Structure formats: structure tokens, C-alpha cells
Amino acid sequence: MARIEVVMPQMGESITTGTITKWHKNVGDVIELDAILLEISTDKVESEIPSPIQGKVVELLYPEGATIDVGRPIAIIEDDMNAEVSAAPAAKTEAPKAAVAASPAPVAATAAPIQASQEEEEGFRFYTPLVKAMAKEAGVALSDLKHIKGSGAAGRVNKADLEAYIAGGAKGSAATHKAGPTPTAAPSGVAQTRSNGDRVEIVAMDNMRKAIAKNMVLSKQTSPHVNSIDEIDMTRLVKAREKIKNDFKKREGINLTYSHFVLYAIVQALKEHPLINASIEGDNIVIKKDIHLGCAVATPTGLVVPVIKNAGDLNLTGIARQLDVLATKAKTKKLTMDDLSGGTYTFTNNGSFGTLIATPVILQPQIGIFCTGVIKKRVMVMEDDAIAVRSMMYGTHTYDHRLIDGELGSKFLASVKHHLETMNPENLI
């Protein structure tokens, strides 16, 4: 007999917590291998979690709505179908104080399904403990929640819905505090105070922003960042794209963007300079034979970096197809752990925001990231000293100076530039 702890999985390299949105099994239920046990949600991902074994669910350690640290046990499954249901969580599964502060205490497992109490319902609508806690601290009455149109399952009000309601000026949403040294911000991220006659607003970081902050600081502490920047003549590609984009859209149902060309050029440059497609583990250099290319995608809750797996085996059309699938999943919060993990190099397009040049932060444990700026027409002096109007774009290669020196970093940038300036898209799609 074996008791298997099901832990909160890490839904991507920057995710530190997950929220249980729905249990598919109750205590006492028999579950098959790979059958769905629960659904979890983060600020980046919503995913169904399968059972790691066939067995009997003997404990559910947290209710729906609880936010749990990655790696913490959330359920116990016994492979003995005759196992007795536990009356309480085992001591080793007790949640840490930090987890308890962010969510209700673990519930004792019972043979009955986990149900919302009458206090958790208002007008026959269910609100998760997280939403209730946020509403309480933000000064929003439960009776006011019925005015919120929920975007969750079955119209359930989730964290994002409540934050939007509060940000829109809901009654009592912004708790105004008297001047003092330690004003308290609501979990929703909205709180105001006055200090020395000046108006200030205190905004609490959500889980996504906390994770980004932590990882950006870690990356800067880990990798000495170096940036090589060059201007890339995109005139040829701009004209070629105009010729083929409509036919490509009809054939593939996808808008052909400049990001597709840049991603393809990066793949070719990585093949020519394999040391860029590596990581550092202790005193060892781990050179990755497969190219798994991350691409930053903007979503309503922030940037996510899904990964195009085996990008080295794809042509331009294949890259466009894969990116379209991942971008759609990102914007609908359907990315999985596999979609967000395993990247070996990353691309980000700041040009989509009108930025001319940017120097991004490396996504650990990778050792490089490529960033493009906006494409702008400029007057250029050509090699024969002729003056011409060209469509120019800046490209930045940011790399880890522990492994990549200026020569290799600049050669990689030159390779990307060469492929973009000489590419013939009609032969690649």
C-alpha cells in the first residue's frame, strides 16, 4: 500500500503559487490513472491536473479558492481501494503560515463533497474564500458582489473580476486610511492613504508581479548582462511580406507578422552558434541540441513566454502556426506547464509598443534573449554613398557574459541580421 501526495505543480518557470478552482473528485472517490483530479489557476495559466496513480482519494487538504505554494501537498491518494478515509490532514501536509494567511486553513477530509456554506453564498451565487477575503479587506460587501459579472466557470466571480470592479470605483473599494507609517493595502491591490499632506496610492503586487520581480532580480544577480545592438535593414522583408501576406492569411488563417521572420532568423543563427543555445549548471556548460524558442506574448494580465518546441525542425510556416496556437492559449489562459517550460532561448518584440531600442533581462537559466524595436523609415547612406529611404529596425542581443563574450555575442547578432536582410520568404513558406 502506498499513500501518494499530490502537490501543487509549478505551472511555468516564474510561477510560485496556484489557486484551486475546482475539485473533480471527492474524498472516498476512486480515480483512474491520468483522470482529472482538479483544476488550478494562476495569473498566467489555467490547467486540469491529472491523478498520478489509480487509487482512492483519502484526503483533500484545501477547498476550492485556496491559493497554495508550489510543491505543497494538496491531496492524498491511496492505492489501496479499501483504505479508510482520514479524518484530518497528516501533520506533514500542514500548510505553512504564509499559505494560511493567503487562503483558508486546510479543511479536514470527509466522505462528503466539499460544499460552500451558507455564509459563502449570496443570492445563490458562490464566492471563493479568496474573493470573499479580498472583498472584505477592500470594503466591498458581499451583497455588492452580485453586481459583478463573473468570467469564471459558470459565471463565477474570480480575482480578476473583483479587481476590475474595485478599480472601476466600486463603493467602498478603496479603503481610505488615516495618515500613519504603515497603511494597509487590500489584497486586490487598491488602497489609498495620505502622508504629510500628499496624496499617494498604495498598490499591492499580485502574484504574477511578485514572481516577475523576484525572477528579474535573480536574473540580474546571476548573469552579468551584456548588450550588443545593431540596426537591421528590413526593407526587403517589408516589401516581400506585403506581397504574400494576403495569400498566407487565406491559406493558413494566420496573419503573417514580422515576429515570424525574426523567430526564423534566430533559429538559423542558433544553429550556426550552438553555444548560445546553452545554460550554465555549476561549473558545467550544458549545450542544448534541440532549439526550444520562447516568445513573449502580451496578455491582459501581463507578459507570458510560451515556448515553441523543436523550433529548429520548423520552417517559417511551422513557426507561425505554433506561435498562433500558443498566443491564442496565452490570451485565453489555457497554457499548460509544458507550454511554458523548457525554453532554451527567448525572443521579445518591444517594437509592437513603438519602442525603438530595448535591453531585456535574460530568462534564467537561459543565457541569451533577442529583442527587436519598431520598424521605421529612415534616410540611410548606402555603401555606394547613395542616399535612400529604408525601413530600419534595431535588434538587441542580450547575453550572459559568464559564458558568452563580446565576440560571440556580436557574431550571433550579425547572423540574425544577415538572415533577416537576405531572407526570401516566398521560398520559406
Domains of the chain: residue spans and CATH: 3-102 (2.40.50.100), 118-207 (no CATH), 225-427 (3.30.559.10)
The yes-or-no verdict on residue 193 having pLDDT over 70 is: no
Query: Residues 376-411: pLDDT tens digits?
Result: 999 999 988 999 999 999 999 999 999 999 999 999
Within 8 A by CB and 6+ apart from 285, the residues are: 275, 278, 279, 403
Query: Residues 159-176: pLDDT tens digits?
Result: 777 878 887 765 433 333
Q: Known catalytic residue: 401?
A: yes
Query: Residues 79-128: pLDDT tens digits?
Result: 877 766 654 443 333 333 333 333 333 322 323 333 333 333 444 455 66
- pLDDT value for 355: 95
CA atoms 426, 420, 329, 71: torsion sign: positive
| Three-class SS state of 416 | helix
Is the separation of the CB atoms in 361 and 398 below 8 Å? yes
Phi, psi dihedral angles at 135 (to 5 degrees): -65, -45
Query: Residues 256-266: pLDDT tens digits?
Result: 999 999 999 99
Annotated catalytic residue within 177, 400, 401, 419:
401
The yes-or-no verdict on residue 191 having pLDDT over 60 is: no
Q: Which of the given ranges, 11-15, 61-65, 277-281, has the highest pLDDT on average?
A: 277-281
- DSSP H helix total and E strand total for the chain: 9, 24
Find where cell 514572481 sits.
211
Average pLDDT, the chain: 81
What is the reported pTM? Answer: 0.64
Distance CA 131, CA 128 (A): 5
Annotated catalytic residue within 79, 80, 290, 405:
405
Higher per-residue confidence, 181 vs 30:
30
Which whole number is the average pLDDT over 9-26? 80
- pLDDT value for 13: 57
The yes-or-no verdict on residue 136 having pLDDT over 90 is: no
Q: Known catalytic residue: 79?
A: no
What grid cell was written down for 409? 555575442
| Three-class SS state of 307 | strand
At 129, is the pLDDT very low, low, confident or very high (cuts 50, 70, 90)? Answer: low
Q: Which residues pair with 73 in a beta bridge?
A: 7
Nearest to 361 by CA among 375, 351, 371, 376: 371
pLDDT above 70 covers a percentage of the chain that reads 78
Distance CA 220, CA 363 (A): 10
